Structure 1
Amino acid sequence: MTELRPRRSVLYMPGANERALEKAKGLDADALILDLEDAVAPDAKEAARERVCAAASSGEYGDREVTIRVNGIDTEWHEPDLRAAAKAGPAAVVVPKVNSARDVQNIERALELGGAPEHTAIWAMLETPVAMLRAEEIASASERLTVLVMGTNDLANELHAEFVPDRGPLLGGLSLCLLAARATGKVILDGVYNDVKDLEGFEAECLQGRRFGFDGKTLIHPGQLEPCNRVFAPSDDEVTNSRKIITAFDEAQAAGKGVVTVDGRMIENLHVANAQRILALHEAIGAKS
């Protein structure tokens, strides 16, 4: 079974803020997105690019997965950002508003021409109606694309939708992208929660995202890390139950039994596979601690 990498909490950090980049070295985030897009004013783009690329290649962030979010495809900063990121060799380049397979292929080509190492992946942000409708096409466009990132703020804006606690207006798009991720074997991250003071609402949205099937969530404030890491990690009960399922299945197979039950429930291969995934994630999280 392929080793799982925890991506429960993926925190945006403003690329123009040197103190924030330094602080990120001690935060309990599974991954960081060093941001050159929304968090950086136009007149600070070049300085931020240099600072972020130096940070990403510094090796000073421990086991955190360090990525760089470049500016959008339709901006003057996009190509210089990609060239610089390719040389820096982060874990991934995060690209906003990816709308087609061709977008992914152009990004891949630019990274290869820039000399990006093989480990530098593409994380595609899906945040428009057209991206929702082309999610499978985008997700399958490149082996280098490993993660889909939901841009829920932009999606809500383009849908003219209201921000409501159950995210009802967004569920169609979220579901399409989840289907695309699972059909193509990609990781998928839920979008941000805007009210950094509302930790109760934030945790509720984390729970909703996990129940949908998201692998983790993008965050905008360090105060959101603890509940996010907790919610997207297997609980003690899940770990215990997963071990019981695997043990019972192995024992039944060894005894030549065709039917396996655990606590009165019939167990099939799909339950065993899910139990193995839960334990692999639990072990990967434990290895980080």
Structure 2
Amino acid sequence: MQLDPGHEQPAAACPVRLLGAATLELFVADSAGAPREGLDVRVSVEPAGRVQGGYAVALNLEEPPFDARTDSEGRCRVGGLPPEVALTLELHEGTQLLRREELRLEPGEQRALELDGRRTLHARRSHAGGRWQSGHRHRGVAVAGQRPALVSGRNQRRSRRARSGADGRFTLEVGVGSWVVFPAPPPIGARSPRGPRTDIAPAAELVVIAPEQTSAEVTLTCWRGLYLSGTVLGLPSVSTQARGFPAWMVCATGEDASIEMSLSNGTFSIDPLPPGSYQVSASGPGGLTHSEPRTVAAGTSSSCCA
């Protein structure tokens, strides 16, 4: 709302909608129907959904505490929720996320939900050559939609983690819903650009846990040494690029993955990757200049002529 310099009255009328707050009544039980006590319930909303003044205004507001904990009967109540905006309901046991739901409530609505607790996901990891792999970290990330071939780190805060044993087996405690399970790549600081490419391709498997299930099994096949590297020819000089010109990009597109990265002195290296063929092309600032795409297999080097 814009005010005049004297603050006597607003320059234009600004209607404000006053909507009745919504309420959630929750009952949480395990797979046998027994109530779960002491679980943390958290309801959150994106900042832009809490005000009409736009995203910049919303970032300056403190997020209201929409938190509760289940009692001995597995029940809790979360009140004062904003209606007509996208809400995220999370069920936690300590630091572990058991379940995550998206919902939207009407003004003044009082909704009752019954949630179940966690399930067990049994998995086994093998190398592409058939050997069982031990001592490696794995993650299970809650997702929605179709199976991705590569998983980024943006959802790591909602993930489960485990390490495979001597027989390649590991177990993740997960909730009902869709989970992507994949081998966790090593920390960026642990990789050496001059050493052999031994990073494990984080190819993922999608596992759907139904409400009636108590466990599920999945086998991961891991691949090593698959990368794409090369040089883009015909680029502007380094001094020209250093004067603030936008970076050139290289894009590798496969059957289940599309990866884009900026160039470093005209060269690129994309790894790790799932097996298969990729179309590699380079694009100039603003996407106005494109090279002819070249089809190469993961594990080889190539060059793109811009």
Per the TM superposition, whether the score is higher than 0.5 is no
Q: TM-score, normalised by structure 2?
A: 0.22
Structure number with the higher strand fraction is: 2
> Whose Rg is larger?
2
Structure number with the higher helix fraction is: 1
Higher normalized contact order (CA 8 Å, seq sep 6+, divided by chain length): 1
Q: TM-score, normalised by structure 1?
A: 0.23
